Structure 1
Amino acid sequence: MKSVNTTSSFRRYIKRDWQLYAMLLLPLIAVFIFKYGSFPGIVIAFKDYKILKGISGSDWAGFDVFLRAFRDKDFWLALKNTLVFNGLDLIVGFPMPIILAILLNEVRNKHFKKVSQTVLYLPHFLSWVIIAGVFTQLLSPETGMINILLSKLGFDAIPFLNKNLPWAVTYILVGVWQTMGWGTIIYLTAITGISDDMYEAATVDGAGRWQKIKYITLPSIKGTVIMMLIMNLGRIMASSFERCNAFGNPLVKDVQYQLSIFIYNKGLQSLDYSLATAVGVFQSLVGLLLVLAADRFAKSIGEEGII
């Protein structure tokens, strides 16, 4: 009886909101084609893939392709840089959307709040090519506005994009700037779901804004924070080719070289699709294991997790 009622309710929703479901259909099709439809291609990682022979005609190589990747010294350099920069992105960048969402929630002027949100969201929609072009002009040692201001103040020019340490700091900070505004959406939604009665009761008890944030806002969004942290841990092995390539130059190759660059250079440019796929499978597997481990740890300390 319950399943019949559920089916009839679903049909009623479809009939009533068919336009919304139709809009949802296109992205769902895209997800199935590009995310799930590519699953059979993973077998390339275990074959000596030749384009002319195709997947089925290529010879099996077992784990030889993985071993070949692991023996490459460039792979370990790329892996080290990927872990270091993704770890720094997580440490520096993960708290920023939370802090920003709390600050935006405290803004009482609705017009200023909407304008601020729009300005903060904008960098998310810019390509890394545009962002890198803008910051290259701003941070140029000789003609960049930042270094011109520093020289007028009596300081030496800083090689932001030409030496390893300044480049690494610039890379991290620009990445945080690009993502933090968009990342506030989920946290603002979670904060919006907090009952006003809790804040009103705290006001009656004499709590100030910082006390409300500490004892109401942060505990109320803790589940969302943990969920997002677990999901971000799953991307610890990923690296953005667009970001690395846009900011890259030969002077900082030692720190700029990440797994996405390794896959492009050693796999796609050299037509070694087996190697590229094997490294991609390795990245996904490690990310999956990290998500499962983080989820289990979250549950062991009394949190819900995501699975």
Structure 2
Amino acid sequence: MRMNSLLGSLWKYKTLYLISLPGILYFLVFKYVPLLGSVIAFQNYNIFLGITGSPWVGLDHFRKMFSYPEFTRILTNTLLINLYDLLFAFTAPIVLALMLNEVRKILAKRLIQTVIYMPHFLSWVIISGIFIGILSPSTGIINYVVQLLGYDPIYFLGDESYIRAIIVGSGMWRDTGWGTIIYLAALAGISPSLYEAAEVDGANRWQQTFHITLPALLPTITILFLLQIGNFLDFGFERVYVFLNPMNRMNGEIFDTYIYQVGLLQAQFSYTTAIGIFKSVVGLVLLVGANTLSKRATGNSLY
């Protein structure tokens, strides 16, 4: 009886299922099937022997990971860069959306929106080229101003103390405008009657922002925050790699770039798969924890 009911439901909504089929196939082929390959983290994987022929080594690769002398440094870099990105890059679209929401001239508002989200369509190679040019010690505009003020030029990309700020700052410039669109859409859904009632009660713009606008944005902020916290250790290879060099690698290397160096260039597939599992487990724990806290504190959650 249940099977007949299920088949009847599938047939009734067959158009919707057909439309969703490409998305389902994408996740199956590129997300779930590759998970089966995680088993090589417990093997000394050999591409010629395959998964079935490679010898099992248990947790040896995880022990190697935690005993690696540079593991703490790479973990610290990954955590700090992601934390800075969460503090600054995540909040920047919210602030920008609130500011744009106060612009009353539609033409000016649309022009600003267009200009600020255009960098999102540039690749990280182009972004890095722009920033390398701007920060150049010989021809960069920033060092030009520094020299006008009477100081010596600074080689920003040759100093490890600046690399984290450059990585986070370039990401903010590229993606803040694009992220603003989501919050502007949420702001458009707030009923104008709420602001009218607040004005009648004598509330100024700041009071309206804190008591009407931000509470209305809270569900959107919560969902986006939870989605980002789940990828806390997965910052992105290309975003960091394009800025790395031997002089700033000490503070700039993260798990993603280390996996590239060791996994692909040195063919240590099992070892880097173990690192990938570690990242996934940490992300899952952070996501579940943040989701639980959010549900209790605000009532908003992913599930």
User: Where does residue 51 of structure 2 map in the other structure?
Assistant: 55
Could you tell me the TM-score, scaled by structure 1's length? 0.89
Could you tell me which residue of structure 1 aligns to residue 195 of structure 2? 199
Report whether the alignment pairs 1:259 with 2:252: no
Q: How does 1:190-269 map to 2 (within 5 A)?
A: 190-269=186-265
Residue 54 of structure 1: CA displacement?
0.6
**C-alpha distance after superposition, 1:197-224 (max 9, x if no partner):** 2122122223232221111000111122
For structure 2, the residue ranges without an aligned partner over 5 or more in a row are: none
In structure 2, the CA distance between the partners of 1:5 and 1:65, relative to structure 1 (3 Å rule), is closer
Given that 2:10 and 2:17 are in contact with CA atoms closer than 8 Å, whether structure 1 keeps it comes out as: no
Partner of 1:139 in structure 2? Answer: 135
Deviation at 1:7, TM superposition (A): 9.3
> Which consecutive residues of structure 1, in runs of 5 or more, have no partner in the other structure?
none
CA distance in 1, matches of 2:118, 2:233: 26
Q: Does 1:294 align with 2:293?
A: no
**Letter of the aligned partner of 2:184 in structure 1?**
L
Q: Distance in 2 between matches of 1:146 and 1:14?
A: 59
- Structure 2 counterpart of 1:124: 120
| Secondary structure in 1 matching 2:156 | coil
Contact 1:234 1:291 in 2 (8 A): yes
- Structure 1 residue 24: deviation in Å? 5.3
Q: Counterparts of 1:46-125 in structure 2 under 5 Å?
A: 46-125=42-121
Superposed CA offset, 1:158-194 (max 9, x none): 2221112223222221122222112222222222221
2:267 pairs with 1:271: yes
> Number of residue pairs matched?
300
Deviation per CA, 1:135-177: give whole Å up to 9, x if none: 1011101121221232124333222211122232222211222
**AA partner of residue 79 (structure 1):** L
Letter of the structure 1 residue corresponding to residue 109 of structure 2: K
Q: Which amino acid aligns with 1:298?
A: S
The Cα shift of 1:266 comes to 1.5
Q: CA deviation at 1:238?
A: 1.2
Cα deviations across residues 35-80 of structure 1 (Å, max 9, x unaligned)? 1121111111111111001111111221111111111112222111
| 2:110 aligned counterpart, secondary structure | helix
**Structure 1 residues 119 and 76: alpha-carbon distance in aligned structure 2, compared to 1, 3 A threshold:** same
1:31 to 11, 27, 32: 27
Paired with 1:176 and 1:84, the residues of 2 have a C-alpha distance of 16
2:185 aligns with: 189
Cα distance in 1 for partners of 2:6, 2:110 equals 39
Worse-superposed segment, 45-54 or 194-203: 194-203
Distance 1:51 1:7, change over 3 A: closer
- Structure 1 residues 210 and 6 mapped into 2: Cα distance closer, same or farther (>3 Å)? farther
- AA partner of residue 121 (structure 2): F
Which range moved further: 112-121 or 284-293? 112-121
Give the CA deviation at 1:10.
8.3
RMSD of equivalent CA atoms: 2.4
Q: How far apart are 1:290 and its partner, in Å?
A: 0.4
Task: Supply the distance in 1 between the matched residues of 2:70 and 2:10 (Cα, whole angstroms).
Answer: 53
Assess if the C-alpha contact under 8 Å between 1:139 and 1:145 holds in 2.
Answer: yes
Q: Give the equivalent residue in structure 2 for 1:166.
A: 162
Q: 1:155 corresponds to which residue?
A: 151
